[in-house]
Structure 1
Amino acid sequence: MPLNAAIRELEWNALLEICRLIGGALELDHTLAGILRVLSEHLGMTRGTVVLYDDETEQLVIRAAHGLSPAARNRGVYAPGEGVTGQVFARGVPVVVPDIRAEPLFLNRTGVRNFKKEAVAFLGVPILLRGEPIGVMTADRMFGPEVSLQRDLEFLIVVAALVAQLVALNRNADAERRRLERLNRAMRSELSDKYQGFFLVARSRAMAEVQDLARKVAGSRASVLLLGESGTGKTLIARILHEMSPRGDGPFVKLNCAAIPDNLLEAELFGYEKGAFTGAERAKPGRVEDADGGTLFLDEVGELPLLLQAKLLRFLQDREFERLGSTRTRKVDVRIVAATNRDLAEAVADGLFREDLFYRLNVFPIVVPPLRDRPADVPLLLDHFLAKFGAEYGKTLRLGGKARRALLEYRWPGNVREMENLIERLAILNDGGEIELRDLPPHVVAAGLQQERRPEELPPLKEMERREVVAALERNGWIQTRAARELGLTLRQIGYRIRKYGLEDRVRANRGRGASRAQ
């Protein structure tokens, strides 16, 4: 084979191996050492270094070396502009030293070259990132005397460009890791505060039972199913379970199954490969991969379409899955916490939810009671939110006697979320001082001041839910989006209730009247 062709093949093989190293890089120094090893194995380089600028010490230090002892490597520290290496960095241009014995700038700081015994050619090229030097790559002559030093230099410039990209990727990864660590610390601090607040203002026996169940199951690997109406605090309890578990330092990943269109849910949950569907320009991991080593919270799990329920069941059984568009089976270590405001047993009976998936999720159910079933918590929660939003908006807030009585007697169909939103609204509107009855929304006053019914007069639970849906639709001009927001439901959930209680014709008729009046 002609010499030039042989050299090209050596260069090509070395570059391929270097690209493979960079593609699988997990740790910068280890990958840099691997690149130097490739140059030695493929091209015969006897000594080489990757020197990077340290922002803290403002010195150039050897991050990876081949052919140097640890002691020699530790001696390789240069100031910018010092010696050949420092000059390459300061000027940002490559340097070739045909014979280091004749170059006064060559410091031989590492002490590994014998000036008396050998004539060594030395090459140094800047590692440039966005046009600015971040380090220097050096090597003793690689190919041998039959190959020009210029060819050595050109090849080393290409390798230095790849090293620059590796350093950039590593810096971006470090910055993202630090950002996530800060976010994690902030979230854990916030969750600790919320955890204390959540149960400190929950004195009822029903919530004490929830707290006890959460404490007992938090340390296990068992799947947990949180059952309860919207706005009762299921998401916060899921976070608390995660924080209290051995996985507390791992990720907490949430997926709202009712908020994502059916045709996108599988890709969002399990991820997809490049080209899996139109618009999939790059591969993307799903929520199950994001949650590896931590907790995956499936909110509104009762809204999952049946086809995806089968795939979720398989994942729950084996913790294995395939990305959309891939045949490669992946395995993750994830703890599942799910939540729903639907009666899943009823959904199973109606054929809307798989029975086997229900049993898989229902390993450890926790029922979070609605606010109307724990009246002892209402005054504590009112005072908690008054103090919270008073401090947030710099106001001293208190409830007048009639306003407090109306709020205590109100049924709170949107539960704690509705109360929190209402008190924040009152805090914004109030100039500071007493909140009076006239400051409350009309529907709260009307419902809250009704004379308390005797137990035998209370309607069945389903009838109560139907009335709440109708009342919310009436208050919001029969616009489903607004009514859903008031009740703390998704559009899909309120649509389900409208169909469940046969209200479709009534909705169409009333919206039609509203539209004709607007004309």
Structure 2
Amino acid sequence: MFGPTSVSPNPHPLAGTVPLPHRGSSRAPGADRTEMALYGIYEISKLLAMPARMEINLAGVLSLLSSFLDMRNGLIALLDGTGAPEIVVGSGWSEATAKRYFRRLPERAIGRIVVTQTPLVVENVAHDPLFAGVDFSTWGPKGVSYSFIGVPIKVEDRVIGTLTIDRNWNEQPHFHYDRDVRFLTMVANLVGQSVRLQRLIAQDRQRLIAEQHRLAKAMADSVRSQRGLTAQSGERHGVVGDSPAIRAVLDKVRIVARSHTTVLLRGESGTGKELFAQALHEMSPRNKAAFVKLNCAALPESVLESELFGHEKGAFTGAHALRKGRFEMADGGTLFLDEIGEISAMFQAKLLRVIQEGEFERVGGSKTIKTDVRLIAATNRNLEEAVAKGDFRADLYYRISVVPLFLPPLRDRPSDIPKLAREFLRRFNEENGTHLTLTENAVQVLSGCYFPGNVRELENCVRRTATLAHGPSLTGPDFACRNDGCLSAMLWKGPARDAVPAGFQPLPIAPRNGAPAAALPPAPATSADEPPEAGGEWPAGCPAPGHCPATGDGKSEKERLVEAMETAGWVQAKAARLLGLTPRQMGYALRKHDIPIKKF
């Protein structure tokens, strides 16, 4: 059934059997061994079916084998196309230790398993010519004899690796090798099928990625020719700007809007997520139906459930009549859920069912209602971090993050600031019957500000200045940041506000004409392993990436960046953790200082 077993010279009589380690049943030893072997195969098959790295699964297989076989050490080696070890896993060893042990095995023994594609049994390696010249001092104490069993790991008719074990022959020389070889052959077959499936999945993934890149390039070429139309469409839906960053997002919005796919809008607070959601709806085939929106953070869980699903008459105190929920109101159209990262774990499960099954029941009702809604969600939270901490359900994350769209902060689109400022002033004039204008000096002041609150803060700044304006035009001195009255700067300074030197410009100003940027006081020291605050883009005390104040070690910012990258082996994510930055901040700082990334 499993092919011939290649037994080395100096055969030992295979008389008698040795029970497996787990025994104690009153039944016949043969029946116990068969049952234990089946149980072992069952447990190993379950382990190999788990979604984990191949090395972790193989280490688990060896751990289980030690429970079912009399073995000292176990080794699984997967070979590449040249026959060199690609992955080597040992029982209780690190990968480096396992590879060293595999290299100490004689090539003739491993070669015989690979070439003949049959198991190899050596009852006493000390007397076998295949192991001649091997230094057995590394195997264990002097004078101890060892047995060796190796079976091939095959995929179809090709050997892709070996499964080997060794055992102390002196302690129990009468082993039932045939039974153990059959058991190991079955295990090797399971390992081979698992490796084959994982490699097929990896190949399919690479193929899909390549196809996605090809389609994205073709789509980008098509969209690029219609970029002017796209920008006009964005402005028609309230999205103002023509910078490369905003055009790239509008290009994606126009593509995604044609489908019914769920979209997750990611971005800092104040980047205009609701406007982009409105644009997605109005550019979609559902634009004739309703666009319903709800801020999930504005309502408690009990009210949120009623708002989304509706309630029956008498469902609770105050429910005097039947009320439709937002899902019913948006049937056939689009539902926009803002701040979805703020909902509780219990409500996440309820929301998951509606998204997954397209059905729900009103509060206090038992009738199942079907709904056809295109869901657009938005958040400024780090959902990946929330999933890792268990604060946000992973299955809900995968449901809402089908097509994530990242909205650029205002600092990444500075060329849009003048256009946005004029649009906000135009709206102010319409609402208040005024005719204020922006001078070039005022535009320069706004273009030099950092605006951590993004577009919302820019709008507030323009409206506040317009409200307090003394003349027909807004000039540079009219703005609060020129009079030490910027409330945003006070929030940005936080607990370090008392350390601000006299004459310090409150709002962080970007450098112009090579002049150094104004820097805020450094933030309190944090552990290198701690990430930046959730939702924040830069560490406190840095007005922008690449503008952090120098530390007391006398090193420049560029020197500290290079030192961190060298310490981290030029891995940006690791270097970012060492400096207390996010990977995005690290990439920004490296580009600012024109530091080339070394590839190894």
TM-score by length of 1: 0.49
Identify the structure with bigger relative contact order (alpha carbons < 8 Å, sequence gap 6+): 1
Larger helix proportion, structure 1 or 2? 1
